[in-house]
Amino acid sequence: MSAETTPGRRVRADAQRSRDALRQAAREVFATSGVHAPVREIAERAGVGLGTVYRHFPQRSDLVTAVFRHEVDACAEAAEQLAAAHPPVEALTRWLDRYIDFIATKRGLAAALHSGDPAFTSLPAYFDEHLRPALSTLLSAAAATGEVRGDVDPGDLLRAVANLSLPAEEDPAHTRRMVALLIDGLRHGAAHGHGAGSPAAR
């Protein structure tokens, strides 16, 4: 590495660290205060000035989009990691628990998605394109064991868990209990021939 390129690379590395710190801070603030929380609160949590926030994310929508996409990516990647580390039904259960945590970071995003801001128009498709396949793979593996139904549409399950998660900030334990009942429902009928040829496996 030449002396000429080192400063530039250092600047880029510093900029990436600032972006990462801001995204992480925003994720934490959004989870507790919603996506309309003051930008100053995010800057303080990240340990940077307001100028740094606006340099990396000129609009609030830029920051919301960055957090959302990063969280979708992490949630999708968790499916593969859990599948490699646990039996299929346990991997499915653990991933749905992880998905509940993901929903918490989206607090207030539903309103933002319908605000008319063009920055958000691609997010619903991004969500569907990444999380539906992740859950479909877990459902198919679990159905192949005969322990859960094989006729569950992954999109339906994503929406069901999201709806159950709406009051999570008031009583997270309640949400997890309701999702546990939902998982029990996936087991009902598993012994009656719902198999790998079902919609969840396609």
The residue out of 58, 82, 101 marking a domain boundary is 58
**pLDDT of res. 196:** 42
Residues 40 and 75 in one domain: no
CA atoms of 177 and 157, how far apart (whole Å): 16
**pLDDT of res. 195:** 43
**pLDDT of res. 34:** 82
Total number of domains constituting the chain: 2
Residues 53 and 64 in one domain: no
Structural domain containing residue 191: 60-201
**pLDDT of res. 12:** 78
Residues 136 and 69 in one domain: yes
Residues 31 and 106 in one domain: no
**By CB neighbour count within 10 A (0-12 exposed, 13-18 middle, 19+ buried), where does 7 fall?**
exposed
Residues 148 and 96 in one domain: yes
**pLDDT of res. 169:** 55
Residues 179 and 113 in one domain: yes
DSSP 199: G
Residues 146 and 103 in one domain: yes
Show the tokens assigned to 79: 């499916």
Residues 100 and 180 in one domain: yes
With a CB cutoff of 8 Å and minimum separation 6, the contacts of 124 are 113
Residues 105 and 141 in one domain: yes
CA atoms of 174 and 164, how far apart (whole Å): 9
**By CB neighbour count within 10 A (0-12 exposed, 13-18 middle, 19+ buried), where does 188 fall?**
exposed
Read off the CATH number of the domain in which 1 is found: 1.10.10
Residues 85 and 51 in one domain: no
One pLDDT digit (tens) per residue for the chain, 202 residues? 554 457 667 657 888 899 999 999 998 898 888 888 999 999 999 999 999 999 999 999 999 999 999 999 999 999 999 999 999 999 999 999 999 888 877 777 766 777 778 888 888 899 999 999 999 999 999 999 999 988 999 999 999 998 887 755 566 788 888 888 888 888 877 765 444 444 444 3
Residues 41 and 119 in one domain: no
Residues 51 and 64 in one domain: no
The residue out of 58, 74, 94 marking a domain boundary is 58
